Amino acid sequence: METSKSYPQQLRSIGQSLEAQRIQIFELTCHDDQFVVKGEPEKEASMLAALRHWQQRRRRSDGLNASLTFTSQDIDQLERQGRSQRAQPNRLPDFYSLPNTLRTVGHYLELKGSELLEMQKRQLSLTLLSRNKDGHPEIEERSIASFYNLFLRLHDKRGKPQNR
């Protein structure tokens, strides 16, 4: 298992990209230093949304409609873009936004010392397939809400000065 991976930052960056594309339900697979995501954007009912969807489909090649691949370089670029858009550091962010949910799941994996293999994100739950410290596969299905207390603890920690 690579120790250089930072799941909270990687997953938050991927979450920002998926959220911008309105992809909330997906399957994510890790392959070495790449993440492959399969999911479809949510449908919107307005005419403006239909036009936006049509424009996005025109810009994408057919292969990208089936899956998105995020390399470490893509994630670094997404992280820089996301950092420039973040504001109000002392405000409690919305846990249920996709980037914050995935960031929290990333912290959870790191706290367990697990390597992420696959994730299936549904509306209210997710399934994690990971490899534990001993190299054994583990699978767990959890509600998204079950990560909320960890999110609060992590946010509380971030708000405190580190040089005490």
pLDDT block averages, 10 residues each, the chain of length 164? 71 95 95 92 72 62 67 90 67 88 97 96 97 96 97 82 50
In a domain, 2, yes or no: no
In a domain, 102, yes or no: yes
The mean pLDDT of the chain is 84
Q: What is the pLDDT of residue 138?
A: 97
Q: How far is CA 50 from CA 6, 18, 24, 37, 43, in A?
A: 36, 18, 18, 23, 8
Phi, psi dihedral angles at 142 (to 5 degrees): -140, 155
> In the chain, how many domains are there?
1
In a domain, 19, yes or no: yes
Predicted TM-score (pTM) of the model is 0.79
In a domain, 96, yes or no: yes
In a domain, 90, yes or no: yes
In a domain, 22, yes or no: yes
* Other CB atoms within 10 Å distance of the CB of residue 22: 17
The domain of 56 spans 7-159
| Residue 129, beta-bridge partner list | 118, 139
In a domain, 164, yes or no: no
